[in-house]
Amino acid sequence: MNKPLRAKEKVPLKQRTHNTLVYLRQHWQLYLIFMLPAFVLTIIFRYIPMGGVAIAFMDYNPFRGLWHSDWVGFEHFNRFLSSPDFMKYLMNTLKLSVFGLLWGFPAPILLAFLLNRILSSKIKQKVQLVLYMPNFISVIVLCGIVRILLSPTGMVNMILGTNYNFMTMPQAFRTIYIASGIWQGAGWASIIYTAALSNASKDLKEAAVIDGANLIQQIKTVEWPAIKDTVLIQFIMAVGNIMSVGFEKAYALQTDLNMGASEIISTYVYKKGLLDGDYGFSTAVGLFNTVINIILLISMNTIVKKMNEGKGI
Protein backbone atom coordinates (compact mmCIF):
# COMPACT_ATOMS: atom_id res chain seq x y z
CA MET A 1 0.00 0.00 0.00
CA ASN A 2 2.80 2.38 0.82
CA LYS A 3 5.06 1.55 -2.06
CA PRO A 4 3.71 3.86 -4.75
CA LEU A 5 3.67 6.70 -2.25
CA ARG A 6 7.28 6.28 -1.31
CA ALA A 7 8.74 6.44 -4.82
CA LYS A 8 8.92 10.23 -4.92
CA GLU A 9 11.63 10.83 -7.46
CA LYS A 10 10.19 10.22 -10.89
CA VAL A 11 6.56 10.99 -10.16
CA PRO A 12 5.26 14.21 -11.75
CA LEU A 13 4.25 17.03 -9.46
CA LYS A 14 0.55 16.62 -10.05
CA GLN A 15 0.69 12.94 -9.19
CA ARG A 16 2.74 13.71 -6.08
CA THR A 17 0.26 16.27 -4.82
CA HIS A 18 -2.50 13.78 -5.48
CA ASN A 19 -0.63 11.09 -3.58
CA THR A 20 -0.09 13.41 -0.63
CA LEU A 21 -3.78 14.26 -0.55
CA VAL A 22 -4.69 10.59 -0.59
CA TYR A 23 -2.20 9.99 2.21
CA LEU A 24 -3.57 12.87 4.27
CA ARG A 25 -7.12 11.61 3.81
CA GLN A 26 -6.16 8.10 4.83
CA HIS A 27 -4.01 9.13 7.74
CA TRP A 28 -5.73 12.27 9.01
CA GLN A 29 -5.58 10.93 12.55
CA LEU A 30 -1.80 11.22 12.51
CA TYR A 31 -2.09 14.95 11.97
CA LEU A 32 -5.23 15.97 13.79
CA ILE A 33 -5.01 13.75 16.84
CA PHE A 34 -1.38 12.77 17.28
CA MET A 35 0.49 15.83 16.05
CA LEU A 36 -1.81 18.80 16.57
CA PRO A 37 -1.50 19.31 20.35
CA ALA A 38 2.30 19.28 20.32
CA PHE A 39 2.42 21.47 17.24
CA VAL A 40 0.05 24.09 18.63
CA LEU A 41 1.91 24.23 21.95
CA THR A 42 5.22 24.61 20.15
CA ILE A 43 3.98 27.44 17.96
CA ILE A 44 2.37 29.32 20.84
CA PHE A 45 4.91 28.88 23.60
CA ARG A 46 8.12 28.57 21.59
CA TYR A 47 7.74 30.44 18.33
CA ILE A 48 5.63 33.44 19.35
CA PRO A 49 8.21 34.38 22.04
CA MET A 50 10.89 34.12 19.35
CA GLY A 51 9.08 36.91 17.54
CA GLY A 52 9.04 38.70 20.87
CA VAL A 53 12.81 39.11 20.81
CA ALA A 54 12.04 42.18 18.70
CA ILE A 55 11.72 43.83 22.11
CA ALA A 56 15.51 43.69 22.29
CA PHE A 57 15.59 46.40 19.61
CA MET A 58 12.81 48.50 21.12
CA ASP A 59 12.17 50.93 23.88
CA TYR A 60 9.42 48.59 25.03
CA ASN A 61 6.55 50.11 26.90
CA PRO A 62 4.11 47.60 28.40
CA PHE A 63 1.22 50.07 28.13
CA ARG A 64 1.78 50.76 24.44
CA GLY A 65 2.51 47.13 23.60
CA LEU A 66 4.77 45.56 21.02
CA TRP A 67 3.24 47.29 18.00
CA HIS A 68 3.37 50.84 19.30
CA SER A 69 6.71 50.93 21.08
CA ASP A 70 9.62 52.84 19.50
CA TRP A 71 12.50 51.13 17.76
CA VAL A 72 15.92 51.93 19.20
CA GLY A 73 18.12 49.65 17.07
CA PHE A 74 21.17 48.31 18.86
CA GLU A 75 21.04 50.78 21.73
CA HIS A 76 20.49 48.11 24.41
CA PHE A 77 23.32 46.01 23.01
CA ASN A 78 25.67 49.01 23.00
CA ARG A 79 24.66 49.82 26.54
CA PHE A 80 25.47 46.44 28.03
CA LEU A 81 28.46 45.68 25.83
CA SER A 82 30.10 48.89 26.99
CA SER A 83 29.25 48.43 30.66
CA PRO A 84 32.02 46.90 32.81
CA ASP A 85 29.48 44.86 34.75
CA PHE A 86 28.43 42.96 31.69
CA MET A 87 31.94 41.69 31.00
CA LYS A 88 32.08 40.50 34.60
CA TYR A 89 28.77 38.62 34.34
CA LEU A 90 29.76 37.08 31.03
CA MET A 91 33.04 35.87 32.50
CA ASN A 92 31.26 34.56 35.59
CA THR A 93 28.92 32.60 33.36
CA LEU A 94 31.70 31.26 31.17
CA LYS A 95 33.95 30.33 34.07
CA LEU A 96 31.14 28.59 35.88
CA SER A 97 30.21 26.50 32.87
CA VAL A 98 33.70 25.80 31.52
CA PHE A 99 35.05 24.75 34.90
CA GLY A 100 31.80 22.95 35.56
CA LEU A 101 32.31 21.01 32.34
CA LEU A 102 35.97 20.27 33.07
CA TRP A 103 35.21 18.81 36.49
CA GLY A 104 31.67 17.68 36.06
CA PHE A 105 31.91 15.93 32.71
CA PRO A 106 34.54 13.29 33.56
CA ALA A 107 33.03 12.53 36.98
CA PRO A 108 30.16 10.29 35.81
CA ILE A 109 32.44 8.49 33.33
CA LEU A 110 34.87 7.73 36.13
CA LEU A 111 32.00 6.56 38.31
CA ALA A 112 30.75 4.23 35.58
CA PHE A 113 34.19 2.64 35.26
CA LEU A 114 34.39 2.29 39.04
CA LEU A 115 30.91 0.76 39.23
CA ASN A 116 31.89 -1.69 36.52
CA ARG A 117 34.65 -2.95 38.81
CA ILE A 118 32.18 -4.15 41.43
CA LEU A 119 32.07 -7.90 41.11
CA SER A 120 28.81 -8.66 42.93
CA SER A 121 25.73 -7.43 41.13
CA LYS A 122 23.77 -7.20 44.39
CA ILE A 123 26.27 -4.83 45.96
CA LYS A 124 26.47 -2.91 42.71
CA GLN A 125 22.71 -2.35 42.78
CA LYS A 126 22.82 -1.04 46.34
CA VAL A 127 25.71 1.28 45.56
CA GLN A 128 23.78 2.60 42.57
CA LEU A 129 20.73 3.19 44.75
CA VAL A 130 22.81 5.49 46.97
CA LEU A 131 24.58 7.17 44.06
CA TYR A 132 21.33 8.03 42.29
CA MET A 133 19.61 9.32 45.43
CA PRO A 134 20.83 12.96 45.37
CA ASN A 135 19.27 13.39 41.94
CA PHE A 136 15.86 13.26 43.59
CA ILE A 137 16.61 16.12 45.97
CA SER A 138 15.33 19.45 44.72
CA VAL A 139 17.56 22.39 43.88
CA ILE A 140 16.17 24.34 46.82
CA VAL A 141 16.80 21.54 49.30
CA LEU A 142 20.26 20.97 47.84
CA CYS A 143 21.12 24.63 48.30
CA GLY A 144 19.59 24.51 51.79
CA ILE A 145 21.84 21.57 52.64
CA VAL A 146 24.86 23.35 51.15
CA ARG A 147 24.17 26.47 53.19
CA ILE A 148 23.81 24.45 56.39
CA LEU A 149 26.94 22.35 55.86
CA LEU A 150 29.01 25.41 54.95
CA SER A 151 27.75 27.72 57.67
CA PRO A 152 30.34 28.88 60.23
CA THR A 153 29.16 26.19 62.66
CA GLY A 154 28.40 23.59 60.01
CA MET A 155 29.87 20.20 59.25
CA VAL A 156 32.66 21.36 56.92
CA ASN A 157 34.02 23.85 59.43
CA MET A 158 33.64 21.21 62.14
CA ILE A 159 35.85 18.84 60.14
CA LEU A 160 38.37 21.52 59.20
CA GLY A 161 38.38 22.98 62.70
CA THR A 162 37.79 26.49 61.32
CA ASN A 163 34.88 28.87 61.16
CA TYR A 164 34.78 30.39 57.71
CA ASN A 165 31.53 31.69 56.36
CA PHE A 166 31.88 30.13 52.94
CA MET A 167 28.61 31.45 51.56
CA THR A 168 29.87 35.03 51.80
CA MET A 169 33.15 34.36 49.98
CA PRO A 170 33.07 35.09 46.24
CA GLN A 171 36.19 32.99 45.70
CA ALA A 172 34.41 29.94 47.15
CA PHE A 173 31.26 30.23 45.05
CA ARG A 174 32.40 28.37 41.95
CA THR A 175 33.82 25.47 43.96
CA ILE A 176 30.59 25.24 45.92
CA TYR A 177 28.48 25.35 42.78
CA ILE A 178 30.50 22.77 40.86
CA ALA A 179 31.14 20.39 43.77
CA SER A 180 27.48 20.36 44.78
CA GLY A 181 26.61 19.75 41.13
CA ILE A 182 28.85 16.71 41.03
CA TRP A 183 27.48 15.56 44.39
CA GLN A 184 23.96 15.72 43.04
CA GLY A 185 24.32 14.76 39.40
CA ALA A 186 27.35 12.52 38.82
CA GLY A 187 25.68 9.32 39.97
CA TRP A 188 22.60 9.87 37.88
CA ALA A 189 24.60 10.90 34.83
CA SER A 190 26.67 7.72 35.12
CA ILE A 191 23.61 5.58 34.24
CA ILE A 192 24.03 6.17 30.55
CA TYR A 193 27.71 5.19 30.63
CA THR A 194 27.05 2.18 32.86
CA ALA A 195 24.51 0.96 30.35
CA ALA A 196 26.88 1.55 27.45
CA LEU A 197 29.56 -0.37 29.34
CA SER A 198 27.22 -3.30 29.84
CA ASN A 199 26.94 -3.41 26.06
CA ALA A 200 30.68 -4.03 25.81
CA SER A 201 31.04 -7.42 24.23
CA LYS A 202 31.64 -10.14 26.82
CA ASP A 203 33.44 -12.30 24.25
CA LEU A 204 35.86 -9.53 23.48
CA LYS A 205 36.57 -9.09 27.16
CA GLU A 206 37.11 -12.80 27.74
CA ALA A 207 39.43 -12.92 24.77
CA ALA A 208 41.38 -10.01 26.22
CA VAL A 209 41.64 -11.76 29.58
CA ILE A 210 42.86 -14.99 27.94
CA ASP A 211 45.45 -12.97 26.05
CA GLY A 212 46.71 -11.82 29.42
CA ALA A 213 45.49 -8.24 29.22
CA ASN A 214 45.52 -6.52 32.60
CA LEU A 215 42.73 -4.27 33.82
CA ILE A 216 44.14 -1.10 32.31
CA GLN A 217 44.55 -2.80 28.94
CA GLN A 218 41.03 -4.20 29.15
CA ILE A 219 39.67 -0.73 29.83
CA LYS A 220 41.64 0.71 26.92
CA THR A 221 40.81 -1.93 24.33
CA VAL A 222 37.34 -3.16 25.29
CA GLU A 223 35.53 -0.79 27.62
CA TRP A 224 36.58 2.61 26.33
CA PRO A 225 35.64 1.82 22.69
CA ALA A 226 32.24 0.66 23.95
CA ILE A 227 31.39 4.03 25.46
CA LYS A 228 33.36 6.37 23.19
CA ASP A 229 30.38 7.35 21.03
CA THR A 230 28.18 7.99 24.04
CA VAL A 231 30.88 10.17 25.58
CA LEU A 232 31.17 12.19 22.38
CA ILE A 233 27.44 12.78 22.05
CA GLN A 234 27.16 13.77 25.69
CA PHE A 235 30.10 16.10 25.27
CA ILE A 236 28.60 17.89 22.29
CA MET A 237 25.31 18.26 24.14
CA ALA A 238 27.12 19.63 27.18
CA VAL A 239 29.06 22.15 25.13
CA GLY A 240 25.85 23.17 23.38
CA ASN A 241 24.43 24.11 26.75
CA ILE A 242 27.52 25.88 27.96
CA MET A 243 25.89 29.32 28.08
CA SER A 244 22.65 28.10 29.60
CA VAL A 245 23.92 27.79 33.16
CA GLY A 246 20.90 26.96 35.24
CA PHE A 247 19.19 29.91 36.82
CA GLU A 248 17.62 28.02 39.69
CA LYS A 249 20.75 26.87 41.46
CA ALA A 250 22.86 29.98 40.95
CA TYR A 251 20.03 32.12 42.25
CA ALA A 252 19.50 29.91 45.30
CA LEU A 253 23.20 29.98 46.17
CA GLN A 254 23.51 33.76 45.82
CA THR A 255 24.11 35.93 48.84
CA ASP A 256 24.66 39.67 48.85
CA LEU A 257 28.34 39.12 49.56
CA ASN A 258 29.27 36.48 46.98
CA MET A 259 27.63 38.38 44.12
CA GLY A 260 31.04 39.12 42.61
CA ALA A 261 31.23 35.52 41.41
CA SER A 262 27.64 34.38 41.56
CA GLU A 263 25.94 36.98 39.37
CA ILE A 264 25.62 35.27 36.00
CA ILE A 265 23.79 36.25 32.83
CA SER A 266 20.59 34.36 33.61
CA THR A 267 20.22 35.84 37.08
CA TYR A 268 21.06 39.27 35.67
CA VAL A 269 18.39 38.88 32.98
CA TYR A 270 15.85 37.95 35.64
CA LYS A 271 16.70 40.86 37.90
CA LYS A 272 16.92 43.47 35.14
CA GLY A 273 13.80 42.25 33.39
CA LEU A 274 11.29 41.09 35.96
CA LEU A 275 12.46 42.89 39.08
CA ASP A 276 13.50 46.22 37.48
CA GLY A 277 11.08 46.07 34.56
CA ASP A 278 13.77 46.91 32.01
CA TYR A 279 12.22 44.61 29.40
CA GLY A 280 14.10 45.65 26.27
CA PHE A 281 17.50 45.61 27.91
CA SER A 282 16.92 42.26 29.58
CA THR A 283 15.73 40.67 26.33
CA ALA A 284 18.81 41.98 24.53
CA VAL A 285 21.10 40.38 27.10
CA GLY A 286 19.22 37.10 26.79
CA LEU A 287 19.38 37.20 22.99
CA PHE A 288 23.11 37.88 23.08
CA ASN A 289 23.50 34.84 25.33
CA THR A 290 21.54 32.62 22.94
CA VAL A 291 23.58 33.76 19.95
CA ILE A 292 26.89 32.95 21.68
CA ASN A 293 25.46 29.57 22.60
CA ILE A 294 24.50 28.76 19.03
CA ILE A 295 27.90 29.83 17.69
CA LEU A 296 29.59 27.58 20.26
CA LEU A 297 27.35 24.66 19.38
CA ILE A 298 27.89 24.93 15.64
CA SER A 299 31.65 25.33 15.89
CA MET A 300 31.87 22.45 18.34
CA ASN A 301 29.84 20.23 16.06
CA THR A 302 32.11 21.09 13.13
CA ILE A 303 35.23 20.27 15.11
CA VAL A 304 33.83 16.96 16.32
CA LYS A 305 32.73 16.05 12.79
CA LYS A 306 36.25 16.59 11.52
CA MET A 307 37.78 14.58 14.34
CA ASN A 308 35.20 11.81 14.20
CA GLU A 309 35.19 11.00 10.46
CA GLY A 310 32.14 13.02 9.58
CA LYS A 311 29.94 11.90 12.47
CA GLY A 312 28.41 14.81 14.34
CA ILE A 313 24.87 15.33 15.51
Partner 1 sequence: MSVANTTVKKKKSEFAKYPAGDKTILIIAYVILGIFLCAIILPVLYIILASFIDPITLQNKGVTFDFSNWTTTAYQRVLGNGQIWVGFKNALIYSVLFTIISVIITLLAAYPMSRSDFRFKRFFNTIYVITMFFGGGLIPTYLLISDLGMLNTIWAILLPGAFSVWNMIIARTYYQGVPHDLEEAASIDGASEMVYFFKILLPVCTPIIATICMWQFVGMWNSYFDAMIYLNDVSKQPLQLVLRGILIQSQPEPGMVSDMQSTAQRAQLAELLKYATIIISSLPLLIMYPFFQRYFDSGIMAGAVKG
Residues 153-212 binding partner 1 (CB under 8 A) are 153-155, 158, 183, 186-187, 191-192, 194-196
Query: Interface with partner 1 includes 305 (CB under 8 A)?
Result: no
Q: Which of 53, 87, 102, 257 binds partner 1 (CB under 8 A)?
A: 53
Q: Which of 96, 115, 178, 300 binds partner 1 (CB under 8 A)?
A: 115
Least gap, CB of 77 to partner 1 (angstroms): 14
Query: Interface with partner 1 includes 91 (CB under 8 A)?
Result: no
Least gap, CB of 216 to partner 1 (angstroms): 7
Radius of gyration of the chain measured on its C-alpha atoms: 26
CA distance 56 to 76: 7
Span interacting with partner 1, options 74-82, 86-94, 126-134, 304-312, rule CB under 8 A: 126-134
Question: Do 243 and 209 touch, CB atoms closer than 8 A?
Answer: no
Query: Interface with partner 1 includes 312 (CB under 8 A)?
Result: no
Q: State the chain's maximal CA–CA distance in angstroms.
A: 82
List the interface residues with partner 1, window 217-246 (CB under 8 A): 230, 233, 237, 240
Q: Which of 50, 71, 203, 310 binds partner 1 (CB under 8 A)?
A: 50
CB contact set of 218 (below 8 Å; sequence gap of 6+):
205, 208, 209
Query: Interface with partner 1 includes 150 (CB under 8 A)?
Result: no
Q: Which of 12, 51, 161, 310 binds partner 1 (CB under 8 A)?
A: 51
Span interacting with partner 1, options 2-10, 77-85, 90-98, 169-177, rule CB under 8 A: 2-10
**58 pairs with which residues across the strands?**
71
For the chain, strand residue ranges (E) read 58-59, 70-71
Q: Which of 17, 18, 34, 276 binds partner 1 (CB under 8 A)?
A: 34
CA distance 225 to 267: 40
Least gap, CB of 170 to partner 1 (angstroms): 18
Query: Interface with partner 1 includes 299 (CB under 8 A)?
Result: no
Question: Do 254 and 263 touch, CB atoms closer than 8 A?
Answer: yes
Query: Interface with partner 1 includes 112 (CB under 8 A)?
Result: no
Query: Interface with partner 1 includes 117 (CB under 8 A)?
Result: yes
Least gap, CB of 130 to partner 1 (angstroms): 6
Least gap, CB of 91 to partner 1 (angstroms): 21
What sign results for the dihedral spanned by CA atoms 110, 116, 118, 124?
positive
Identity of the residue, 85 or 276, whose beta carbon is nearer to partner 1 in the bound complex: 276
User: What is the 8-class DSSP label of residue 20?
Assistant: H
Using alpha carbons, list the distances in angstroms from residue 35 to 27, 31, 43, 128, 207. 12, 5, 12, 38, 49
**70 pairs with which residues across the strands?**
59
List the interface residues with partner 1, window 60-89 (CB under 8 A): 62, 66
152 membership: H or E segment, kind and range: none
User: What is the 8-class DSSP label of residue 263?
Assistant: -
Span interacting with partner 1, options 73-81, 86-94, 98-106, 276-284, rule CB under 8 A: 276-284
222 membership: H or E segment, kind and range: none
User: How close are the terminal C-alpha atoms of the chain, in Å?
Assistant: 33
Q: Which of 145, 169, 200, 292 binds partner 1 (CB under 8 A)?
A: 145
Query: Interface with partner 1 includes 7 (CB under 8 A)?
Result: no
* Strand, helix or coil for residue 115: helix
